[in-house]
Structure 1
Amino acid sequence: MSDWTLWLILAGVIFICLCVCVGMWMYTRSRFIRFSDNILNSIRLIENGETLLENVNEDSLEGKINAELAKLCKAYHHAENTSVSQKKEVQQIVSDISHQLKTPIANIVMYNDMVLGRKLERDEEEKYLLIMRAQVEKLHILVQDLVKMSRMESAMIVLEQGPENLYQCLAQAVAGITAAAERKGLHMEIECPEESLVWVDKKWTVEAIGNVLDNAVKYTGQGGHIYIRVNPLEMFTRVDIEDDGIGIEEKHYSDIFKRFWREAKVHENEGVGIGLYLTREILTRQGGYVKVESIPGEGSCFSLYLPSEKAGTL
């Protein structure tokens, strides 16, 4: 074989190698450009707030990166939605508080102007002063409830559960509404074993029970009845608080536990619509819950399920 033949063969091999290298370089370059474009497109989708679909071929590098970007996209959307939801909730709370404060403040200003701007008889002046005092007391109660609500929602309150005597909790809650019940001539009956134990935070459980009793007193007519019955169950102790008051429509069973919600027919009664909301929050955070059954015009029964001592030792 001549030297020219060898050179031609060598040149051919070199040419083929160069062609293969150029082809591989072009193929790799095109794959890299496509890979980069796909990643950039995924990032643009995240920036525009669009949903990013996960790559089905997760074995490839592109698929793995795209899968991680998809997780990042979900986390981003979740954080964004949470932020929007929280802003709306804060706006709603501010609006609700403003609405609750507006009426008593307006009344105080109006009657104050009447007392200062007119020459009134002593009896009439005292009447207006008593009205202003009632509005101030309403503001005081509202502020107290708002503070409790704020502390509960911001997790500033730590419930310290332990074995507590339910009879003593009920006695303390009843003591808080006795004067109001006597003014309306209400008859109250309590059935509770003195040795009954529950696994709760005593202070806040008394608050929860007291809120339900306070509503029972408010919405029960003169000479009505309030019954408190305790039924020990396997993992809970049920406290039924029953009255023969105005009752609640079934469609509002869930509404009454919402913050600031009140039925139109009770707007003339005192209250701001926080008590039952707090009751549900307190029971839920202790592992309990609350249910209601009612017949409009005949009365309501609130059932408070408190964790039993047995549940607390598990």
Structure 2
Amino acid sequence: MKHNQKKTAFLFLWLFICMLVCLGTGLLAVSRSEASFYKRAAVMAACAPEKAGEMMRSLKREQPEKVEKGEALLKQYGYEAGLFTRADSAGLLSILLLFFLLLSGGGALWYAMESRRHRWRIQELSDYMIRINNGIYDTGIGNREDEYSRLQDEIYKTMITMRESREEAKKGRENLAESLTDISHQLKTPLTSVSLLQELLEEQVKGEDGRQLLVRMEQQTDHIRILTSALLTLSRLDAGVLPLEKKEEDLQEVLSAAVESVRSFTEYKRQAVRIQGEEGKRLCCDLGWTGEAIGNILKNCSEHTPEDGCIRIRAEQNAIYTRILIEDEGPGLDPEECRHIFDRFYKGKSQDRHSAGVGLALAKSLTENQNGELRAENRKEGGARFVMTFYAKGN
């Protein structure tokens, strides 16, 4: 409010100065006109003293017929209309230019100072928001009262509310992760008991039908175990409580560990896994969890690649990122799958019915929590391609 009053006062002062300059310039012009007229009248009187009285009376009265006759006589001697000499005009213009420069310079200086103050205040408020976002809840930035003081108070209130909401949400996710951890531990005991009962039943069940039922029980038990483990990991990732020990790892070792984790799937379908471009490259990541993410992608590729097919892994690296491309020889992805393939519990049209539908969602979360991104696309030659990109520090 006070700043607006100052600006209004400055504007009125500026207009007042401009009016004074215009008034002074007008008075100066009148004064110069009178002086010039007086000098010329004196010269004329000195040239014809016997007719000075008649000339003075003629100057005081307007006589149009004599004006026209006099103008014709003056033109014979090279005098045109115009009272000031060039010197008089140049002097007046110089004074006007000086006043204009002074006023413009003062206005430009005031504008520069105001712009600098505004930039400084905006930067101060920006730093203020950063401090609050980092948990430094100071009560303000001094006791100045200007057009930004109210905005400063609103920023403080908004940032405090957002910070508290974020902390409450984080606490809720942590509580959920703890609850899921407890549930996971509680499920381990009955799952272990079911596994033991299955082993006992194998000794007593006779006939092909009974064995088929046992196989299906084992599959469902494994399905529950895998699903529970994946959901627990996802909840811990969401809550930000999953420890990821990132360090420089040999990329060849990371990819080899991932391929080894799915060897039983690929060997069962007689599929080949070929790796290229990994030699001599290093990746800053958590070895175990990154191998888990790549393994989940490889498992998906194995499910869609026909028997005796091939899964290809190619590594690229530059100063900005390390990229891992995993390609299969399956039917590819339709547009619906491309949009939802990383959603939790989503199963594509050709997905294995025993799949839990969380493997790719887990792979994406693990990648993004290590400063990376994961996307899926179709190859021109046919089949799907998963592009996993890990960005270097600072990118």
What residue number does 2:387 align with?
303
Higher relative contact order (CA 8 A, sep 6+): 1
1:182 is aligned to 2:263: no
What residue number does 2:290 align with?
205
- Structure 2 CA distance for partners of 1:223 and 1:83, relative to 1, 3 Å: same
> Are 1:173 and 1:207, in contact at CA under 8 Å, matched by a contact in 2?
yes
Question: Relative to total residues, which structure has the larger helix share, 1 or 2?
Answer: 2
The unaligned stretches of length 5 or more in structure 2 are 1-143, 177-196
Aligned counterparts of 1:66 and 1:257: Cα–Cα separation in 2: 41
Q: TM-score, normalised by structure 1?
A: 0.61
1:152 to partner: Cα distance: 1.4
Aligned counterparts of 1:66 and 1:227: Cα–Cα separation in 2: 57
Aligned counterparts of 1:222 and 1:297: Cα–Cα separation in 2: 18
1:269 to partner: Cα distance: 3.0
Question: Which runs of structure 2 are paired with 1:69-218 in the superposition (5 Å)?
Answer: 72=157, 122-218=207-303
1:193-246 deviation line (CA, Å, top 9, x unaligned):
432111111111111111111111112122221011111222212111000113
> Are 1:245 and 1:297, in contact at CA under 8 Å, matched by a contact in 2?
no
Aligned counterparts of 1:268 and 1:159: Cα–Cα separation in 2: 30
> Are 1:199 and 1:312, in contact at CA under 8 Å, matched by a contact in 2?
no
Give SS of 2:347's match. Answer: coil
> Are 2:303 and 2:352, in contact at CA under 8 Å, matched by a contact in 1?
no
1:275 is aligned to 2:359: yes
What residue number does 2:132 align with?
none
1:163-187 deviation line (CA, Å, top 9, x unaligned):
1000001111000111211111212
> Are 1:248 and 1:296, in contact at CA under 8 Å, matched by a contact in 2?
no
1:243 aligns with one of 321, 325, 328 = 328
Aligned counterparts of 1:301 and 1:70: Cα–Cα separation in 2: 46
Aligned residue pairs total 227
Aligned counterparts of 2:166 and 2:393: Cα–Cα separation in 1: 36
- Measured on the aligned residues, the alpha-carbon RMSD in Å equals 3.8
What residue number does 1:94 align with?
none
Q: TM-score, normalised by structure 2?
A: 0.49
- Structure 2 CA distance for partners of 1:68 and 1:192, relative to 1, 3 Å: same
Aligned counterparts of 1:280 and 1:156: Cα–Cα separation in 2: 17
Give SS of 1:230's match. Answer: strand
> Are 1:237 and 1:306, in contact at CA under 8 Å, matched by a contact in 2?
yes
Aligned counterparts of 1:166 and 1:60: Cα–Cα separation in 2: 57
> Are 2:303 and 2:351, in contact at CA under 8 Å, matched by a contact in 1?
no
1:126 to partner: Cα distance: 1.4
1:78 to partner: Cα distance: 9.1
Give SS of 1:237's match. Answer: strand
Give SS of 2:210's match. Answer: helix
The unaligned stretches of length 5 or more in structure 1 are 1-57, 92-111
What residue number does 1:4 align with?
none
- Structure 2 CA distance for partners of 1:183 and 1:297, relative to 1, 3 Å: farther
> Are 1:190 and 1:229, in contact at CA under 8 Å, matched by a contact in 2?
yes
Give SS of 2:284's match. Answer: strand
What residue number does 1:37 align with?
none
- Structure 2 CA distance for partners of 1:296 and 1:139, relative to 1, 3 Å: farther
What residue number does 1:292 align with?
376
- Structure 2 CA distance for partners of 1:68 and 1:289, relative to 1, 3 Å: same
Larger Rg belongs to: 2
